[in-house]
Amino acid sequence: MAIEGVEIIKAAAFLGAGIAMGLGAIGPGVGEGYVGGKACEAIGRRPEEAGLLTRTMLVGQAVSESTGIYSLVVALLLLFVV
């Protein structure tokens, strides 16, 4: 079968989108889980500070999430724009 240039680019973009989002999800997943664990540890030590600790946890996780969102954006660009 004859494979054309446009088709190869589309194929690479689809495979690349999968790899981008797949590998990109590993870091934030582990990192956010680690933050969650440390927040639980801190609340276990000082339950009265639970509100402040939960807020700090969520802010920290949001920053860690950003790399996952970069992967999502790149994957969506590869799927629909390129």
Position among 40, 52, 63, 77 found at the interface with another protein (CB under 8 A): 40
Buried b (16+ CB within 10 A) or exposed e, 9-46: eeeebeeebeebbeebeeebeebbeebeeebeebbeee
Q: Which two tokens stand for residue 12?
A: 């690479």
Query: Which of 5, 11, 52, 66 is in the footprint of another protein by CB under 8 A?
Result: 11
| Contact present, 57 and 39 (Cβ < 8 Å) | yes
The footprint of another protein on this chain (CB under 8 A) covers a number of residues equal to 55
- Cβ at position 19, least distance to another protein in Å: 6
Binding site for another protein (CB under 8 A): 1, 3, 7-8, 10-19, 21-41, 43-45, 47, 50, 53-54, 57-58, 61-62, 65, 68-69, 71-72, 75-76, 79-80
